Structure 1
Amino acid sequence: MFSRRAHRRLSPVALAIVIVASALAPAPLHAADPEPALHGLTLAHQPLDAATEWIDPALALGIDEEDLVPTPDFDFVELQASDIYASGVDVVAVKYEDLSGFESRHLRTLQVLETINRDIVNTTFTINQLRPDISRLNTRITTEETQEARLTEEIAVYRHSITEFALRTFIGEDDAAISELEIDSTAAESRVMTDQVRDSHFTEIANREAERARRQVRRARLEEERRATRRRLAELRDIRLELLAEQTAMSKLAERTAASYRRAFHDRLTMHVKRTNIPLVTLNAYVIASRVLAEEQPRCDIRWWMLAGIGAIESNHGQFGDTEVDINGYPKDPITGPALDGRILEGAELVTDETPAPEPTEMTTSTPVAAAADSTGDGAASEEGADVVVPVIKRLALIKDTDNGKYDGDRTYDRAVGPMQFIPQTWESYGEDANFDGEIEPQNLYDAAVASARYLCRAAGSMKTEEGQRRAYFAYNHDDEYTQNVLDRSRSYQRILRISSESLAANRPLGIATPSNTGESTLDQPTVVGVDNLPDW
């Protein structure tokens, strides 16, 4: 039971190693720039420092492997409980996911902690057994001391009696001494009798001295046993104090390995969902938005993959260009479209005196232009049966600044902003702090996804049918090709990824409350511009 204690005593240095070990951790799940703190995630304890090397606590404490209890069963689901993930999203597999290192470290810490707890129980049990043993030894030693005192007193009485006889004989009072014994005898007989009494007393003294010596030996043995028991008890008390110190250190380490696993489980938010290019945090935003609308406008029947189609086309799910989405759903580089200044995007060469450019409007437009005859006089038509390519003049929307540069940084013209590409004035009508981080921010995927869902539902009425979906997508961007692209992408996500049926239950992570703003647009026509239909800027 105490084999590991026989050759190891916990010192301040050993305990310091354990405490230092509580600051060590496995390598991070993936190499990346430091992430901001995850809004909405509360960790009761500081996670391990992922930048340093893990030290096995059993090794640090000198616990032999054979002395450890079996690895405990532990359900990591309790560490996965979250107000961040929408139900169903938490179990979605992501690329490069590996939580095994965090699991093994937490299990190892729990194994060492349970071993220490077992030793504390056993040590306490032994201490409780030794205390009565010492009491019994005290009683036996006291008994021996009492008997030794009795024997010493009796020996003294006999010695005193012998001395008295000798003294009286010397002064001639031996006859009187004999007479005190009430024995009738002659003088010779009296002397013989005196000798016999004296010899009898010597015999009694010898017997009592022998018995006292035996009791002294027995008492010495009992006292040695008591000293050994007391030493053992003191040693066990020290061990128990060591164990309690180790228990405290391991408890703190277990709290931190649990926090490390919990943080790593949420670090998955920055990883991509398997078989897709969607970061998990973006998928989470889509799912949450669809559930918010399921409560607000159940007839709309919008689903997460319908939003994913929009997000894919508008900003590659918040990853437009080379940017990435952070753990809170913000693109690391803000996504801002070109100035909506009415410029001609395509077909400038088609503009002539006879074919003037169309006037800019609040929507990006594509105006067909009659084909000019080619050098052969055959016009734009090619071989019989081939498609006729109708040239167009594509003109960017013209929207003067409406937000004084608040969202897009442009005080001259408006620009589409954020992963769902909202025009500032439209955002003012639909935007809401959907993740309750204190900001109503079009760059944030949670805020933008809820606003986009409301916008689509208002435009479609119901998105249960393909007709309704087309109506919603066309309202988002008045372009048939755009509408088809969004529809195709959304359907592909529907086929690739299914959220578990459990996730159909209403659930509002991130503290989302019933919104007070249902989002009435101030525009007769939606003016959100798709970035894939625009040139590079």
Structure 2
Amino acid sequence: MGGPRAEHGAPPAAEPEAAGEPLAAADPADAPAADPEWLARVAADTGIPKRALSAYASAALTLASEQPGCRLGWNMLAGIGSVESDHGRINGSRLLPSGQTTPRIIGVPLDGTRFIETPDTDGGAIDGDPEWDRAVGPMQFIPQTWEMFGRDGNGDGRVEIDQIDDAALSAAALLCDPGLDLTIGEHWIAALDGYNPSAAYNNDVADAAERYAQYG
């Protein structure tokens, strides 16, 4: 499939008094926040929980400011979130208003049976497994990658793999790390390969991202 044929850029940012709501209500870090009307419309049209969509949009807006040449679309993050955890809803989990996932989303041990063998790198501190690494959280980071790219997306002073704002911003940082323009197909593929080097995974994310791109 390659990459989305139409990669949308950052969603519209909220104005200080957009839709009658002060921008300060967005989050304690004063990170960029998407326009409330855009969030409501796109969440309704796509079925993405508004709490997850808000995290994807904020992360895209942040990277648009930090690395404008990356041109990361919110829909790429949403495609990853869809494939990795159904936006935090996989296996009965859900997103709390705080953005935390409950119960925690922890993948299978990476023992080589189904995925690339990855011996433990964190002593089980993040994933609870002292023998093998496991992917964790709504964006399914493995511990060693989280240590490299984990960021505080909601400004609470903590970097939490199970919190959707932190996870989405961290995913955005990983995708933009190579410094490529992600509206170019081969660059999109290369960035996603850095997230998960699987052609099937790339196709699944591309399908979801392309579907979401229709909605803004």
Q: What interval of TM-score do these two structures reach, taking the shorter chain for normalisation?
A: 0.7 to 0.9
> What does residue 56 of structure 2 align with?
286
Q: What corresponds to 2:68 in structure 1?
A: 298
Q: Decide which of 304, 307, 312 is 2:77's aligned counterpart.
A: 307
Q: How does 1:420-459 map to 2 (within 5 A)?
A: 420-459=139-178
- In the alignment, is the contact (CA less than 8 A) between 2:55 and 2:164 conserved in 1? yes
Query: Contact 2:108 / 2:134 at 8 angstroms: preserved in 1?
Result: yes
Partner of 2:97: 327
Contact 1:286 / 1:449 at 8 angstroms: preserved in 2? yes
Query: Which has the larger helix fraction?
Result: 1
Q: Report the RMSD for the aligned CA atoms in angstroms.
A: 2.1
Query: What is the TM-score of this pair, normalised by structure 1?
Result: 0.35
Aligned to 2:91, the other structure's residue is in SS state: coil
CA offset digits 1:21-77 (Å, max 9, x no partner) = xxxxxxxxxxxxxxxxxxxxxxxxxxxxxxxxxxxxxxxxxxxxxxxxxxxxxx994
Residue 461 of structure 1, CA deviation: 1.5
CA contact (8 A) 2:78 2:209 kept: yes
Q: Tell me the CA shift for residue 399 of structure 1.
A: 1.5
Aligned to 1:91: 37
Distance 1:301 1:448, change over 3 A: same
SS in 1 for 2:95: coil
Alignment of structure 1 residues 193-232 onto 2, 5 Å: none
Which runs of structure 2 are paired with 1:52-451 in the superposition (5 Å)?
77-78=19-20, 80-85=21-26, 87-92=33-38, 94=40, 273-343=43-113, 345=114, 396-451=115-170
**Aligned-partner Cα distance in 2 for 1:466–1:410:** 37
> Percent identity of the aligned residues?
37
Name the CA shift for 1:414/1:444 in 2 (closer, same or farther; >3 Å): same
Question: Per the alignment, in what secondary structure is the counterpart of residue 300 of structure 1?
Answer: coil
**TM-score (normalised: structure 2):** 0.82
Choose which of 469, 473, 476 in structure 1 pairs with 2:192. Answer: 473
**TM-fit CA distance, 1:460:** 6.3
Letter of the aligned partner of 1:310 in structure 2? Answer: I
Cα displacement (A) at 1:448: 0.8
Deviation at 1:89, TM superposition (A): 3.6
CA distance in 2, matches of 1:336, 1:280: 23
2:10 corresponding residue in structure 1: none
Deviating above 2 A after TM superposition, structure 1's stretches of 4 or more consecutive aligned residues are: 75-78, 82-89, 92-95
Q: Tell me if structure 2 keeps the 8 A contact 1:460–1:471.
A: no
Bigger CA radius of gyration: 1
Aligned length: 195
Tell me how far 1:453 sits from its aligned partner.
Answer: 0.7
Residues 469-519 of structure 1 show CA distances to partners (whole Å, capped at 9, x for unaligned) of: 122122211111211111111011010x22xxxxxxxxxxxxxxxxxxxxx
Change (3 A) 1:412 1:447: same
Per the alignment, residue 106 of structure 1 pairs with none
Q: Which runs of 5+ in 1 are unaligned?
A: 1-74, 96-271, 346-395, 499-537
Whichever residue aligns with residue 278 of structure 1, its letter is I
1:93/1:483 CA distance change after superposition, 3 Å: closer
The equivalent residue for 1:239 is none
Q: Name the structure 1 match of 2:8.
A: none
Q: CA deviation at 1:459?
A: 4.1
Point out which structure has higher relative CO (alpha carbons under 8 A, 6+ apart).
2
**Aligned to 2:69, what secondary structure does the other structure show?**
helix
Q: CA–CA distance in 2 between the matches of 1:93 and 1:455?
A: 24
Q: Distance in 2 between matches of 1:295 and 1:307?
A: 16
Q: Within 2, Cα distance between the matches of 1:77 and 1:314?
A: 32
1:76–1:465 Cα change, 3 Å: closer
Deviation at 1:285, TM superposition (A): 0.7
